[in-house]
Amino acid sequence: MSETNPKVALLGRPGPAREHLRNALASLGGQITIEGEPGELAPAQVAATGPSVVVVSLDAAMEDQLDEWDELFDTEGLNVIYDEAATTSQLDGWDLARWARHLAAKILGHDRTLPPAPEGAEAVHGAVDWIPSPGGPISPAVQMDAERSRTTPSRRSTMPAACRWPMTRVPVPTMRRASFPGRTT
């Protein structure tokens, strides 16, 4: 779905959550065809307005009212978005703006969820992959250590032969428990 001005039906109880939804939909250019509580509206009423999207501001008090809406929600080509009213009603500032961008992306069918760039900012050209992956680039310090160990001879090879300890294998002693006469453990 990638409509520029989608027709939206807004279902939810009156309050801050529905108000945030209404404002967000208006700012993205959505045309609200009908708005109200699921208990006050009938699915046929909503379907008659021809929405392409139904946004449901969901809270515990109205969940039982949605049972009769299943047939409408299952309609081919109808996008149904559920929003948690308790969370949305508490949003403000940056969180509210971020939430509105993500709602717009879901309704309009795009992935532009980043905030707008500052005025005069230049766009990054070319393909940029901002997602880190395991085994990514090696840090400069690790890279320098690796180069140094490849190009620098070991200390042993730079020492005069008379100063070098002979390289012989020494057996590792095994540990046994000591026993002392007259002592019990």
Q: Give the pLDDT confidence of 76-85 residue by residue, as tens digits.
A: 989 999 989 8
Tell me, yes or no, whether 64 lies in a domain: yes
Q: Average pLDDT, whole number, for the chain?
A: 79
- Report CA 75 to chain centroid distance, whole Å: 29
Q: What is the pLDDT of residues 62-76, one digit of tens each?
A: 888 888 898 999 999
**Contact (CB, 8 A) for 37 and 62:** yes
Q: How many domains does the chain contain in total?
A: 1
**Contact (CB, 8 A) for 61 and 35:** no
Tell me, yes or no, whether 97 lies in a domain: yes
Q: What is the pLDDT of residues 149-164, one digit of tens each?
A: 666 655 555 666 665 5
Tell me, yes or no, whether 152 lies in a domain: no
Phi then psi dihedrals of residue 161, to 5 deg = -55, -35
Tell me, yes or no, whether 129 lies in a domain: no
Tell me, yes or no, whether 84 lies in a domain: yes
Tell me, yes or no, whether 116 lies in a domain: no
Tell me, yes or no, whether 11 lies in a domain: yes
Q: Which domain holds residue 73?
A: 7-108
Tell me, yes or no, whether 153 lies in a domain: no
CATH code for the domain in which residue 85 is found: 3.40.50
As given in the structure block, the two tokens for residue 22 are 């209404």
Residue 185 scores a pLDDT above 50:
yes
